[in-house]
Amino acid sequence: MAKILKLNEISEVAEKEFPAGYTFAADVKNPDGIMLRSFNMHDYPLNDELLAVARAGAGTNNIPIPDCTAKGIVVFNTPGANANAVKELVLCELLLGGRKIVDAIDWVKTLKGTEGISKAVEKGKSKFVGHEITGKTLGVIGLGAIGVMVANAAADLGMKVLGYDPYLSVQGALHLYTTTEMSDLDSLLKKADFITVHVPLTPSTEKMFNAETFAKMKEGSVLINNSRGELVDELFSKPCAAVNWSAISPTSPPINSSENTISSACRTSAPPPPKRRTTAPPWPPKNWSTTSKTVTSRTA
């Protein structure tokens, strides 16, 4: 009987995929396989029976790849499996970044029990004026499965989209709306009202948003990071607004929603919305492989 250990909560959908005879639980001893999301395995013991580790997501920086390689343990990731969920979070964060929604909610809570609440709301609501995202410029850094979906959805909302990805795949390019303007990184930083980043954490991307990067960004622009917290050097994040719900390391906690982290972009009025774009097939495609990267394999 094969034993699969869950190091994080995994959707019940995954359990239904295992055939009869598999144990899939959070209390398995000496597992044959491990499934995880953000659990940090770098200090986790790798038992001799372990054959494979599966990451429910794209990034594998929380898995000790060299140690797994040395022991012949196969490591899988699932790029694109959660792409739509992340896309929807980014859209939510675009709206949070464009309007003082969190501040307004906190203010409304203070009105509990207030007499003549309608007048109080009418008087105070002007403090939370925001702006529409239609006509604003979104810069998308990283055009994999998630980045492409975000770019297309933003275009559907009337945003101008700039894209940057030196490793753009043929599949990604084919599913990207033709209205997306490909850009170099510096130009994107200077032009974008909102920037969303969808890149893995590597030595070259760690702290890619730092003092030099922020100095190039528009005043009042909004940074949305749903990749890894370590991509942003928090010491230099003050000049721009930042929305970051995804840091997985205890040493780099998420940036919370507050006055300093969600603010209006610098323009007060929006230019005319762009012309209707060419539509593209659904992304990721139905035949997109969700187990696409084998890091190493067990030898006989």
Query: 0.75 exceeded by the pTM?
Result: no
In the chain, where the domains are located = 3-76, 83-244
Q: Tell me what pLDDT residue 201 has.
A: 86
User: CB atoms < 10 A from the CB of 292, how many?
Assistant: 12
Q: How many CB atoms lie within 10 A of CB 49?
A: 11
Report helix, strand or coil for 150. helix
CA distance 264 to 241: 8
Largest interatomic CA distance in the chain: 78
| Same-fold call for 3-76 versus 83-244 | yes
CATH homologous superfamily for the domain 3-76: NAD(P)-binding Rossmann-like Domain (3.40.50.720)
Task: Using alpha carbons, select from 210, 97, 194, 198 the residue that is nearest to residue 139.
Answer: 194
Contact 194, 130 (CB under 8 A): no
Task: Check residue 141 and give its pLDDT.
Answer: 97
pLDDT for the residue numbered 211: 85
Average pLDDT per 10 consecutive residues for the chain, totaling 300 residues: 91 81 91 94 96 91 95 93 91 89 89 87 88 94 96 97 96 95 96 94 89 87 88 66 37 35 30 42 47 36
Amino acid at 165: D
CA angle 168, 239, 160 (to 5 degrees): 40
ω into 282 cis (within 30 of 0): no
- pLDDT the model gives residue 81: 83
Contact 141, 164 (CB under 8 A): yes
Q: Which CATH number fits domain 83-244: 3.40.50.720, 3.90.320.10, 1.20.140.10, 1.10.287.3510?
A: 3.40.50.720
Strand partners, 162: 139, 181
Token pair, residue 78, equals 């699932």
